[in-house]
């Protein structure tokens, strides 16, 4: 279900989340913040489901929330450290910088990110690193890409099965319309599911 929609001068974004079989705990967690200089989003998918998965994912979002001004690579390292002696989690961190019109992205695990640049009509899909964060030594691949005016993006956990990401981001009007299309195509909740849709307004 759609949980929140936020709009300002630079960006609009929408978050949708549902738990596995409507369980009380969702093993996914997310956090985003929008400042004058950047938009930051973290999505964490705790291994398995239920409370232990939630404990892992919420620990990640809390540490990122408390350090959101740090670089993406540093945030991934902090997320890894906080998962020591926990179940572990797939984690993605996205940071958009408004002054340079670029985003920095790092991910470990089965979270997916797509960005559609409308002027060049190209879909950007940073390749994820397999595995998950659990406190052990881990290498992070941080990637940097330019984004165009009116670019659209989606970041989602593996509970969501998306086909035709470019078509969805390119068409279907508003973020709410795109979200409805995605939800209509994903009616089975056999896993925790979270996705965040965004649109750059300049």
Indicate whether 202 pLDDT > 80.
no
Instruction: Of 74, 97, 90, 87, give the one whose Cα is nearest residue 28.
Output: 90
The strand pairing partners of 124, in sequence order, are 115
Indicate whether 111 pLDDT > 80.
yes
Domain count, the chain: 1
The average pLDDT across 109-129 equals: 93
pLDDT the model gives residue 187: 62
Whether the CA torsion 156, 161, 165, 171 is positive or negative: it is negative
Return the percentage of the chain with pLDDT > 70, whole number.
97
The CA distance from 73 to 50, in Å, is 28
The CA distance from 155 to 195, in Å, is 6
Instruction: Of 16, 47, 48, 44, give the one whose Cα is nearest residue 29.
Output: 44
Question: What are residue 11's phi and psi, to 5 degrees?
Answer: -155, 150
The CA distance from 88 to 69, in Å, is 24
Least confident of 2-6, 10-14, 93-97, 177-181: 2-6
Question: What are residue 121's phi and psi, to 5 degrees?
Answer: 55, 45
The average pLDDT across 141-167 equals: 90
Q: In which domain, by residue range, is 137 found?
A: 2-200
Q: Which secondary structure element, helix H or strand E, spans residue 38, and what is its range? A: strand 38-46
The CA distance from 85 to 152, in Å, is 37
Indicate whether 153 pLDDT > 90.
yes
The strand pairing partners of 42, in sequence order, are 31, 93
The average pLDDT across 49-74 equals: 95
CATH of the domain at 141: 3.60.40.10
Indicate whether 1 pLDDT > 70.
no
**pLDDT tens, 73-87?**
999 999 999 999 999
Least confident of 20-24, 71-75, 144-148: 20-24
**pLDDT tens, 160-180?**
888 888 988 988 688 888 888
Residue 21: pLDDT band (50, 70, 90) is confident
């Amino acid at each position: 279900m759609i949980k929140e929609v936020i709009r300002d001068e630079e960006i609009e974004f929408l978050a949708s989340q549902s738990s596995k079989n409507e369980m009380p705990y969702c093993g996914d967690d997310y956090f985003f913040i929008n400042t004058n200089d950047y938009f930051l989003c973290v999505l964490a998918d705790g291994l398995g489901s239920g409370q232990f998965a939630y404990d892992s994912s919420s620990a990640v979002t809390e540490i990122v929330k408390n350090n959101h001004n740090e670089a993406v690579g540093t945030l991934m390292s902090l997320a890894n450290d906080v998962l020591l002696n926990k179940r572990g989690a797939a984690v993605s961190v996205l940071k958009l910088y408004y002054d340079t019109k670029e985003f920095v992205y790092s991910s470990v695990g089965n979270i997916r990110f797509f960005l559609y640049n409308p002027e060049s009509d190209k879909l950007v899909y940073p390749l994820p690193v397999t595995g998950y964060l659990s406190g052990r030594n881990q290498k992070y691949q941080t990637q940097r890409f330019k984004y165009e005016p009116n670019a659209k993006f989606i970041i989602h956990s593996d509970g969501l099965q998306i086909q035709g990401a470019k078509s969805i981001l390119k068409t279907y009007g508003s973020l709410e319309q795109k979200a409805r299309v995605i939800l209509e195509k994903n009616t089975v909740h056999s896993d925790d599911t979270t996705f965040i849709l965004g649109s750059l307004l300049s």
